[in-house]
Structure 1
Amino acid sequence: MARGSLRVYLGAAPGVGKTYDMLGEGRRRADRGADVVIGFVEDYGRPLTRRMAEGLDTVPRRRITHRGAAFAEMDLDAVLARRPQVALIDELAHTNVPGSRNPKRWQDIEELLQAGIDVISTLNIQHLESLNDVVAHITGVRQRETVPDEVVRHADQIELVDMSAEALRQRMRHGNIYPPEKIDDALRHFFTTGNLSALREIALLWAADRVEEAVLRYRSEHGIEQPWPTRERVLVALSGGPEGDTLIRRGERLAARAAGGDLLAVHVARADGLATAPPERLDRQRALTESLGGTCHTVTSDDPAAAVLDFAQRVNATQIVIGASRRGRLGLLFNRGVGERIIEGSAEDIDVYVVTHEAAAHGRFRRRRSSRGPDTARRDGA
């Protein structure tokens, strides 16, 4: 039996329209002849959402009593018995009431997928497990219901439901999200412009990473070696020499010029385990890279140039930053000739920047083998 597909509507905050869009997709599939049912939808009394659900077959909820109180949960067994082609199931991160077969709704959905049923669900970015601490710092509210990132990343489709902070606040003022008695409090606390803008940026960047992940997987599966630049990704090659701090800062400025650009640093360690650079210096450069929002990596090889090029291809790098000696010759990494070999071996879609150590602090560097423009001298801010 073929596994069902999972589609997730991802939003930055409640009220952006995830459930509405999920129901809209369900209606479109039903109009095309698919057997679509509502497994669980929470409309929170929103009239537009409620009207969008009208006409779709709904599986009745299961009533569960816990500590003397009655709760309504998705009836997993009833949905499985109904065997629709598509099930619409809201709130992927929801925690089921004790007494349910699975602790979490995403586990219920996994059973439906294994049964060959396609599932369409919804999720707010703050419910991703990896972002729990970040969101708590931004909003002052720690989300108790989370879903492992791996579950969402394995979705067949993720659609970002986007809305500006002010548009969402306006929707709140109009009573389209919460009932009137909760509006003022929500606008003063969770739904501030700063909170919503930060959550929106996090959602956009997380979704962009998912696109990058899909590109890398496709390239690997199809044996494609040349990079496909979905966004700028700057790779700094570190020898462990004193020039590394300058190269890292130069790489960060290059990445910052492109919205959402990534900074990575790589050091090539010898295969025999012998140190090629003082460990304390590499530790400092790793800390500097991470403080600038980048990631630091170590690969093992006796061929530094080939190792840097291979790593650049694997991470889909668009730019490589290397160092030149004070005399201007390309001999900075481990021995003379490594820089030249990186330039000669770089793919057509990778720009190689050669930074002179003394001059780099003043913004001078040279770009070699760029396929996106002529080889020209550049200054910081150009």
Structure 2
Amino acid sequence: MFPEYRRKTPEEILQEIEQLKRGKLKVYIGSAPGVGKSYRLLQEAHELKAEGIDVVIGLIETHNRKETADLIRDLEILPKKKVSYKGKLLEEMDTQAIIKRAPDVVIVDELAHTNVPTSKYEKRYMDVEEILQVGINVISAVNIQHMESLHDIVEQITGIKVRERIPDHVLHQMATEVILVDVTPEILRKRLSEGKIYDKSKIEQALTNFFTDSNLGALRELSLREVADDIDERIGKERIQNGLYKATGVHEKIMVCVQYGGNAEKLIRRGWRIASRLKTDLLILHVTHEASMNRTLKDRKKIQNWKKLAAQFNAKFIVEQTGKRTISETIRDIAVEHGITQIILGQSARSRWEEITKGSIVNNIMRIASGIDIHIVADQKET
């Protein structure tokens, strides 16, 4: 069979022209601290400089590692800006100084960093977006545990809640190139033992907590899989842009149902990863009996957090009142209205007695939502 070709629309051509004006973002991703991301950033900076390319350091974190600090050598470093916060003078990357300097390439380490609250942007990747918009190329680095959609998986593996996270679109859409910096768990633990990652006072604790063989092996597998998926996605997009075939997954549509339980964000992340792999749309639904004016402040805050997470994943968020319908009927109606093919639910929060007297919401949906696949995600109880 011959591949299916199509002409690009005027909108697609204009979008490509706009993309040519933007700077390009290259991201080095690693499984854990100490794999050598910052070292690789500086190596590449020297390679670019040797080729006559104007490259500067906007921000680099050496973490007091001698090998990394020594590699800076004669590279130009732009001074950080001073930021006053709660009586303290802190330092942040000076985005405007980078834009004013206008190099061909700027090195920006620690992509998931959270800025001082008084800064223009909440997160460093937002500063990077502004730099890209003026046509400056950026080379940056991040660890796999900072990916938003992997938050629950990383916590399950390591037992640690990662606070600094970036939306997945930073890697899959903003970045034009993603490169894995990979070392084995054995080499990483050896580096740690030799004091090449953390201060000596923290080595023993790190070896027995985060830097265990099982943790590092699992994080490494996540990194390898993430980059492999990213490569597949980029190849697919390139073929679509060249008119070789249409996108897959156009007949699939995913809906995640969230309630006030503790696993709502976990369900949203799971839904996005399924939708992302199927290259299709994601809808997030919250069904409620009450009007918005009757919600508690705590519940309103939860809904705002869900909306914020949905926006990161470019998902549609709906709050739907049941009216005279049951919760199951409301979910079924929204699914039919939006052409949903797969519904993701958490385990029922009802007690066994409530399920006997009122019926299981999950079972009711499975009974009345014919032709729709149902995914049940186990609720991980806190210990």
**What's the TM-score, normalizing by structure 1?**
0.61
Q: Are the structure 2 counterparts of residues 99 and 197 from structure 1 closer, same or farther at C-alpha, using a change threshold of 3 Å?
A: same
Could you tell me which of 42, 48, 59 is aligned with 2:78? 59
Instruction: With a CA cutoff of 8 Å and minimum separation of 6, indicate the structure with the bigger relative contact order.
Output: 2
How far, CA to CA, are the matches of 1:138 and 1:283 in structure 2? 36
Q: 2:219: which partner in 1? A: 199
Q: Conserved in 1, the CA contact under 8 Å of 2:366 and 2:374?
A: no
Q: Where do 1:16-165 residues align within 5 Å?
A: 16-154=35-173, 155-165=175-185
Q: Residue 44 of structure 1: SS of its match in structure 2?
A: coil
- The superposition leaves residues 156-177 of structure 1 with CA deviations (integer Å, 9 ceiling, x where unpaired) of 1100001111110011011110
**2:202 paired with 1:182:** yes
**Residues 1:226 and 1:133: Cα distance change in structure 2 (over 3 Å):** closer
Distance (whole Å) between structure 1 residues aligned to residue 377 and residue 122 of structure 2:
36
Shift of the 9–283 alpha-carbon distance from structure 1 to 2, 3 Å rule, reads farther
Q: Report the counterpart of residue 173 of structure 1 in structure 2.
A: 193
Cα distance in 1 for residues equivalent to 2:195 and 2:373: 49
Shift of 1:288: 7.6
Q: Choose 1 or 2 for highest CA Rg.
A: 1
Q: CA deviation at 1:287?
A: 4.9
Deviations 1:99-144 (A, max 9, x none): 2111110000001000110000000000011111111111111111
Stretch deviating more after TM superposition (216-225 or 8-17): 216-225
Taking the aligned partners of 1:279 and 1:195, their CA distance within structure 2 comes to 37
Distance change (3 Å), C-alpha of 1:179 and 1:284: farther
1:351-370: CA deviation from partner (whole Å, max 9, x where unpaired): xxxxxxxxxxxxxxxxxxxx
SS at match of 2:56: strand
What amino acid does structure 2 have at the position aligned with 1:130? Answer: S
Equivalences, count: 253
User: Which one has the bigger helix percentage?
Assistant: 2
CA–CA distance in structure 1, aligned partners of residues 371 and 185 of structure 2: 38
CA distance in 1 between counterparts of 2:183 and 2:368 reads 44
Return the offset for 1:222.
1.9
Q: What is the letter of the counterpart of residue 189 of structure 2?
A: R
In structure 2, give the amino acid aligned to 1:207: V
SS in 2 for 1:204: helix
Give me the identity figure in percent: 43
Task: Verify the 8 A CA contact 2:21 2:135 in the aligned structure 1.
Answer: yes
CA distance, structure 1, for counterparts of residue 64 and residue 113 of structure 2: 18
* Distance verdict in 2 for CA 1:101–1:284, change over 3 Å: same
What is the CA deviation profile of residues 173-221 of structure 1, one whole-angstrom value per residue up to 9, with x for unaligned ones?
A: 1111001111000001010111111111011111111011011112212
| Whole-Å separation in 2 of the counterparts to 1:167 and 1:286 | 44
How many Å apart are 1:286 and its aligned residue? 3.8
Supply the RMSD in Å over aligned alpha carbons. 3.2
Q: CA deviation at 1:226?
A: 10
Q: Which amino acid aligns with 1:23?
A: L
